[in-house]
Amino acid sequence: MGNVENPVAGSAAEAVRETMDGFQLVIDALKLNGIDTIFGLPGIPITDLTRRAQAAGIRMLSFRHEQNAGYAASIAGFLTQKPGICLTVSAPGFLNGLNALAHATVNCFPMILISGSSEREIVDLQQGDYEEMDQLAIAKPVAKAAYRVLRADDIGVGIARAIRAAVSGRPGGVYLDLPAKLFAQSMDAEAGRRSLIKVVDPAPRQIPAPEAVTRALDLLKSAKKPLIILGKGAAYAQADAEIKQLVEKTGIPYLPMSMAKGLLPDTHEQCASAARSYVLPEADVVMLIGARLNWLLSHGKGKTWGGKSGKDWGGQKFIQIDISPQEADSNVRIDAPVVGDIGSCVQALLAGMSAGWSRPGNDWLGSVAERKSKNVEKMTETLAKNPSPMNFHSALNVVRDIVKANPDAVFVNEGANALDFTRSIVDIYKPRKRIDVGTWGIMGIGMGYCVAAAAVTRGQVIAIEGDSAFGFSGMEMETICRYNLPVCVVVMNNNGVYKGTDVNPTGGADVAPTVFVKGARYDKLAEAFGGVGAHATTPAELRKAMEEAIRSRRPTLINAVIDETAGTESGRITSLNPTAKKK
């Protein structure tokens, strides 16, 4: 052994002990735990960490803004069940990453934000250090857990705790604060290696209580009009075969939440998406699998659920399968909570169902099927139209075909109309193939998600982006081109937020707050970085450009010109707008 920098190493081996610095300990601790990718942005004090991570064989993906690296890390966590790692510099870099950390926590995605930080003794006395900030305190309210490591021999424990906190129980965002001085600390290499921890069973199975399973099955058996709702927790759990078996064995109609689409193919005969506004108020027993009764499900009450008005309860009984014991009763009474990991819970339910399980009555299934086919028919008619200029429907009709032909591609989606129309029109065929704005309806996840999805799956990515949504992360087109990722971005360009037709009521020179440059050519942005740009004004042009992007696997940005009058205010969530509320 011996120190390679020491020319007398060997003969004087005993006098010159091999040492290891903080940088190396962090890298070794991550590698020991199977972390193979870091999403980040270099600078003081972590530049050498990015270099040495790359040298050590970790894929170090550098972004143009930490927020996008953070979103990438968060969705890598969702896709892999391993914490996605985002690495940033101190104060401003940390704050740029913080939004993504909050997003990870809110969406139950495992992620670790690792930020360098400045001199503790100067920061704590507020003496004005370079990028001074008490980052740990600021991260805490939005993180599932937050830790700081001050000593090199604690790096192993720090990273082990961060991993465990991120992935065990309800997953979430974890902050790990690594002060600059830590990286330069060195310790005896052998002791350093011994200080590292390979986390054993980071996300232990959580088996539901037998009586909870029986209670749930009894309730489900009593139902005349049962409904299953699959949420992104079910997609995250990777219990795809069991979930499919449960749905099919019960014969119960199901609704996939946005990121649970594809858990079973959207074309499945039990999929009730096209009859959503019928099944929610009509159902008598609803089984939630990894879905919260938050705003996306109108809190389980009100008119959506057949309640007479605002907050009235529709009278449904609920079974809720969730890993968080605190989730039940958050909005309405949960009659049968089943607490555990989804794989174990679904297995237990399957085991408890007798062989002669009777499917729901034909009156329920028949009336769901009837609504469905009526709505599908209406949609087919709308999609077949070919208006000029192209609108969301005629463009999405193309996207729908392309996704059908490429079911393994990961589909990224953000915007308002560009999100809501896409979600209902574009079918998804496989689990975890649709990733989007999530629980907050956040704009800006787009290009970070594209990079992560391409990195994790090594396969094709297709993104449908509102023109406003795209702007939040558009500069990462350079990142996509730099790493030559097979990403096809389609910007649904309707000249603005929701639409491009608002006018400034004063008649002044400034355009309305929701309006952008008319006729912008987003495709040029890809060309600037050596990618492919395409300009599509008709469905035929869009189809050709998308097919070519997928055939070539080259980074591509298609500017799809959409009728600027086609959108509606806030897409499908107009009712949440205070103006609409006032009326």
Please choose, out of 170-178, 244-252, 305-313, 494-502, the segment that lies near ligand TZD by the rule CB under 6 A. Answer: 494-502
| Pair 179, 116: CB distance under 8 Å | yes
State the binding partner of 264 from ligand TZD, Mg ion, ligand ADP, none, CB within 5 to 8 A by kind.
none
Q: Is 466 in the site for ligand TZD (CB under 6 A)?
A: yes
Q: Is 144 in the site for ligand ADP (CB under 6 A)?
A: no
Q: Is 433 in the site for ligand ADP (CB under 6 A)?
A: no
When binding is defined by CB under 6 A, the residue of 73, 87, 243, 469 that contacts ligand TZD is: 469
Q: Is 327 in the site for ligand ADP (CB under 6 A)?
A: yes
State the DSSP H helix or E strand holding residue 202, giving kind and residue range, or none if neither: none
State the DSSP H helix or E strand holding residue 543, giving kind and residue range, or none if neither: helix 539-552
| Pair 343, 242: CB distance under 8 Å | yes
Distance of alpha carbon 451 from alpha carbon 71, whole angstroms:
10
Please choose, out of 81-89, 100-108, 113-121, 409-417, the segment that lies near ligand TZD by the rule CB under 6 A. Answer: 409-417
The residues, any chain, with a CB within 8 Å of residue 296's CB and separated by 6 or more, are 257, 258, 439
State the binding partner of 442 from Mg ion, ligand ADP, ligand TZD, none, CB within 5 to 8 A by kind.
ligand TZD
Query: Site map for ligand ADP, 373-412, x if CB under 6 A?
Result: ----------------------------------------
Q: Across the beta sheet with 556-561, what order do the strands follow? A: 434-436, 410-414, 461-466, 487-493, 556-561, 532-536
With respect to ligand TZD, which residue has the nearer C-beta, 208 or 567? 567
Please choose, out of 131-139, 226-234, 355-363, 390-398, the segment that lies near ligand ADP by the rule CB under 6 A. Answer: 226-234
Tell me if residue 471 falls in helix, strand or coil: helix
When binding is defined by CB under 6 A, the residue of 110, 231, 233, 415 that contacts ligand TZD is: 415
When binding is defined by CB under 6 A, the residue of 85, 237, 402, 464 that contacts ligand ADP is: 237
Distance of alpha carbon 236 from alpha carbon 328, whole angstroms:
19
Distance of alpha carbon 400 from alpha carbon 405, whole angstroms:
9
Residue nearest ligand ADP, Cβ-based: 233
Q: Is 291 in the site for ligand TZD (CB under 6 A)?
A: no
Q: What is the DSSP string of 113-137?
A: EEEEE--HHHHHTT---TT---HHH
Its sign, for the CA torsion 545, 546, 550, 556, is positive
Nearest to 64 by CA among 454, 444, 517: 444
Distance of alpha carbon 499 from alpha carbon 519, whole angstroms:
13
Structure-block tokens of residue 361: 């009555």
Q: Is 441 in the site for ligand TZD (CB under 6 A)?
A: yes
State the binding partner of 236 from ligand ADP, ligand TZD, Mg ion, none, CB within 5 to 8 A by kind.
ligand ADP
Nearest to 305 by CA among 331, 267, 326, 324: 331
Q: Is 232 in the site for ligand ADP (CB under 6 A)?
A: yes
When binding is defined by CB under 6 A, the residue of 54, 214, 245, 294 that contacts ligand ADP is: 294
With respect to ligand TZD, which residue has the nearer C-beta, 23 or 392? 392
Largest CA distance in the chain: 88
Supply φ then ψ for residue 239, to 5 degrees: -110, 45
With CB under 6 A, what is the number of residues at the site for ligand TZD?
Answer: 18
When binding is defined by CB under 6 A, the residue of 341, 414, 420, 436 that contacts ligand ADP is: 341
With respect to ligand ADP, which residue has the nearer C-beta, 282 or 327? 327
CB-facing half-sphere around the CA of 535: CA atoms within 13 A: 7
Distance of alpha carbon 334 from alpha carbon 285, whole angstroms:
11
State the binding partner of 566 from Mg ion, ligand TZD, ligand ADP, none, CB within 5 to 8 A by kind.
none
Supply φ then ψ for residue 84, to 5 degrees: -75, 135
Smallest gap from residue 573 Cβ to ligand TZD (A): 8
Structure-block tokens of residue 351: 């085991």
Please choose, out of 170-178, 208-216, 247-255, 411-419, the segment that lies near ligand TZD by the rule CB under 6 A. Answer: 411-419
Smallest gap from residue 436 Cβ to ligand ADP (A): 10
Distance of alpha carbon 516 from alpha carbon 552, whole angstroms:
31
Q: Is 572 in the site for ligand ADP (CB under 6 A)?
A: no
Q: Is 323 in the site for ligand ADP (CB under 6 A)?
A: yes
Smallest gap from residue 47 Cβ to Mg ion (A): 38
When binding is defined by CB under 5 A, the residue of 179, 340, 448, 466 that contacts Mg ion is: 466
Question: Residue 33 CA to chain centroid, in angstroms?
Answer: 22
Please choose, out of 111-119, 270-278, 370-378, 415-423, the segment that lies near ligand TZD by the rule CB under 6 A. Answer: 415-423
Burial of 569 (0-12, 13-18, 19+ CB in 10 A): middle
Supply φ then ψ for residue 57, to 5 degrees: 95, 5
State the binding partner of 443 from ligand ADP, Mg ion, ligand TZD, none, CB within 5 to 8 A by kind.
ligand TZD
The residues, any chain, with a CB within 8 Å of residue 420's CB and separated by 6 or more, are 571, 572, 573
State the binding partner of 571 from ligand ADP, ligand TZD, Mg ion, none, CB within 5 to 8 A by kind.
ligand TZD
When binding is defined by CB under 6 A, the residue of 21, 467, 476, 523 that contacts ligand TZD is: 467
Q: Across the beta sheet with 254-256, what order do the strands follow? A: 254-256, 226-230, 285-289, 317-322, 336-339
Smallest gap from residue 324 Cβ to ligand ADP (A): 4
Smallest gap from residue 326 Cβ to ligand ADP (A): 9
Judged by the rule CB under 6 A, the positions of this chain that interact with ligand TZD are 415-418, 441-444, 466-469, 492, 494, 497-498, 567, 571
Judged by the rule CB under 6 A, the positions of this chain that interact with ligand ADP are 107-108, 170-171, 231-233, 236-237, 257, 259-260, 290-292, 294, 296, 322-324, 327, 341-342, 439
